[in-house]
Homo-oligomer: A and B are copies of this chain.
Amino acid sequence: MRKDKGFNRRAILAAPLMLSAATLVRHRSLAQVPQSTPLTLWNDGPAKQAIFEFIRTTTDQSSPKFVPPDERIATFDQDGTLWVEHPMYTQVIYCLERVPAVAAKKPELKKVEPFKTVLSGDREAMAKLTMPELEKILVATLTGMTTDEFVADVRQWLGSAKHPRWNRLYTDLVYQPMLELLQHLRGNGYKTYIVTGGGQDFVRVYSERVYGIPPEEVVGTAGGTKFGYDKDGKPVLTKEPKLLLNDDNAGKPEGIHLMIGRRPRFSIGNSTGDRQMLEYTGAGDGARLMMLVLHDDAKREYAYGPANGLPDTKIGTFTQALLDEAKKNAWTVVSMKNDWSRIFAFE
């Protein structure tokens, strides 16, 4: 019923499938942007003004819209909102690039589809993979290992895999103005959650280092684990191919209820997958701020979605209907081109 952002044919077609050079780059905390004045990377305009106004009215005790600290919950979509989501979701690239390692351990996979196609590197053939085949790849690369093994593997991959356009680590492709916004909200007593259609276990590996968001404040698409004991009798959790939460579209407010149990005061996303989260946020009493990031900067990042007169890429879909709903509900649209003076740390 729900469409998973992570799986689609066009995305796969666009994917750079070459395994990146295995250069291990030393981790540095991207979350620590110096910030004496808040939102220095935001140009003056309605978006910046809306944020300042929201913070002021919800933290000033004399304001009729004051929000007690305990209730200060902010939720952030990840792909396309906190970091680059083009040409495809980072986690899907991870899964595709994991196939050779998985096949090395299970040689029988080399001869069967869809693994054969992925291993061939034939992009045209890969573009013809069916949804059930793509799901087989996700299951093979995201389940069956212990949670500790998964963390170690993702960490290693993130330390070497590079984005094809900038030839930089994926974790370098974080939007600096959003790091400022996260810090500004936290500095004003807000708990800043990630609420992503991406895998919860995947994002938790780097969320603290990259965004300053601890694992327990990451809500994402989640599979079950199975408690058991390894050969030495040590308790381990093994990742299972059992979907517990598809944290996209209606799954976002459902995931927020499951994992947080409170309605957010602030939500930001960039696609139709965030619509219900913003609606749910806006349905509460008192001050609320709902925002959408518009990708309209082809020069510095990407421009996509019907709002820009561009064909629907199926990644980060920002439809006319979403824009209409934003206008109707007074959601604030953030233009990457106009509202952000800088996008990346490396600019």
Q: How far is the CA of A253 from the CA of B276 in the complex (A)?
A: 30
A226 within 8 A of B: yes
- A280–B204 CB distance below 8 A: no
Complex: chain B residue closest to A217, CB-CB: B216
Q: How far is the CA of A244 from the CA of B226 in the complex (A)?
A: 13
A226 CB to closest chain B CB (Å) equals: 7
A308 CB to closest chain B CB (Å) equals: 28
**Complex interface: chain B residues within 8 A of A251 (CB):** 227
A-side interface mostly: mixed
A141 within 8 A of B: no
Mark interface residues in A218-256 (1 if CB within 8 Å of B CB, else 0): 100010111110000011110000001100001101100
Q: How far is the CA of A218 from the CA of B250 in the complex (A)?
A: 23
Q: How far is the CA of A30 from the CA of B258 in the complex (A)?
A: 25
Contact of A227 among B73, B244, B276 (CB under 8 A): B276
- B215–A254 CB distance below 8 A: no
A208 within 8 A of B: yes
Q: How far is the CA of A208 from the CA of B262 in the complex (A)?
A: 12
Within 8 A of B (CB), among A243-290: 244-245, 250-251, 253-254, 257-262, 276, 279-280, 283
A214 within 8 A of B: yes
A117 within 8 A of B: no
Q: How far is the CA of A191 from the CA of B254 in the complex (A)?
A: 24
Q: How far is the CA of A21 from the CA of B225 in the complex (A)?
A: 44
A174 CB to closest chain B CB (Å) equals: 20
- B254–A70 CB distance below 8 A: no
- B254–A226 CB distance below 8 A: yes
A200 within 8 A of B: yes
A215 CB to closest chain B CB (Å) equals: 3
**Complex interface: chain B residues within 8 A of A191 (CB):** 216
Q: How far is the CA of A261 from the CA of B147 in the complex (A)?
A: 10
- B216–A261 CB distance below 8 A: yes
- B214–A70 CB distance below 8 A: yes
Complex: chain B residue closest to A276, CB-CB: B227
Complex: chain B residue closest to A223, CB-CB: B258
Q: How far is the CA of A251 from the CA of B228 in the complex (A)?
A: 11
Q: A70-B214, A214-B70, A244-B245 are in contact. Are A237 and B253 (CB under 8 A)?
A: yes
A67 CB to closest chain B CB (Å) equals: 14
Complex: chain B residue closest to A256, CB-CB: B237
- A259–B257 CB distance below 8 A: no
- B215–A260 CB distance below 8 A: yes
Q: A234-B283, A276-B235, A280-B227 are in contact. Are A258 and B222 (CB under 8 A)?
A: yes
- B262–A250 CB distance below 8 A: no
- B70–A225 CB distance below 8 A: no
In the complex, the 4 A-B pairs of residues with the closest C-beta atoms, listed nearest first: A215-B261, A227-B250, A235-B283, A216-B260
5 contacts between A and B (CB under 8 A): A147-B257, A191-B216, A201-B261, A227-B253, A234-B283
15 extra A-B contacts, CB within 8 A, seeds A225-B257, A235-B283: A70-B208, A73-B216, A147-B257, A191-B216, A215-B261, A215-B262, A216-B259, A224-B258, A225-B254, A227-B251, A227-B253, A227-B254, A227-B276, A236-B283, A237-B254
